[in-house]
Amino acid sequence: MSLLATCLITSLLTFSQTDTGTDSLVCIPAKHAREIAKELTLYDLCQLERESLQKDTLDLRSIIIQKDSIIKIKTSEITLLDSSLVASSQLNATLITEKQVLEDKVDKVTSQRNLAGGLSLVLTILLALL
C-alpha cells in the first residue's frame, strides 16, 4: 500500500494536501516530494524491522524463561541426589561399624569356644587321671 502511494506521489510534479479545502493547497517541489516518499518508505521499513525485533525479543525471553525453569529442576534434582549421597554415605558408615561390631563378637565367641574346648579337654584328661 505504501509502495503504491510512494509511486503515485513521486510521479506527480507537485505534492498537495487533499484533506483540506481546495482553497488552501500547499504545493511542494517534486524533489522534496520524492525525498518525503523515500523517508516514508524508510520509516515503513524501520517499523517492520522494529516489529520483527520485538517478536525476536519476546521469543528470546520465552526461551530464557524455559531454560531458567529447566535449571531450577536440574538444581533440585542435584540437591536431591546430593542428599541421597550423604544419606547413603552415612548408611554405609553405619553398616561398616555394625559389621565391625559383629566381627568382634564373632571373634570373642570363637575365642570363648576355643577356650571352652581347651578347658573341657583339660578337665577330661584330669578326670581320666584321677
Instruction: Name the H helices within the chain.
Output: 2-11, 30-129
pLDDT at residue 71 in the model = 97
Residue 14 has pLDDT above 60, yes or no: no
Contacts by 62-71, CB closer than 8 A, 24 or more apart: none
Over residues 76-103, the mean pLDDT reads 94
Higher pLDDT, 74 or 117: 74
Q: What is the model's pLDDT at position 49?
A: 95
Q: Which of 14-28, 85-99, 110-124 has the highest mean pLDDT?
A: 85-99
List, for residues 49-71, the tens digit of each pLDDT value.
999 999 999 999 999 999 999 99
- Please give the pLDDT value at position 66: 97
Give residue 114's pLDDT. Answer: 85
The per-residue b/e assignment along 23-55, b for 16 or more CB within 10 angstroms, e otherwise, is: eeeeeeeeeebbeebeeeeeeeeeeeeeeeeee
Contact status, residue 15 vs residue 33, Cβ threshold 8 Å: yes
C-alpha cell at 12: 506527480
User: What is the per-residue pLDDT for 4?
Assistant: 57
Summarised one tens digit per residue, pLDDT across range 38-50 is 998 999 999 999 9
- By percentage, how much of the chain surpasses pLDDT 70? 81
Query: What pTM value is reported for the model?
Result: 0.47
pLDDT category, 3, cuts 50, 70, 90?
A: low
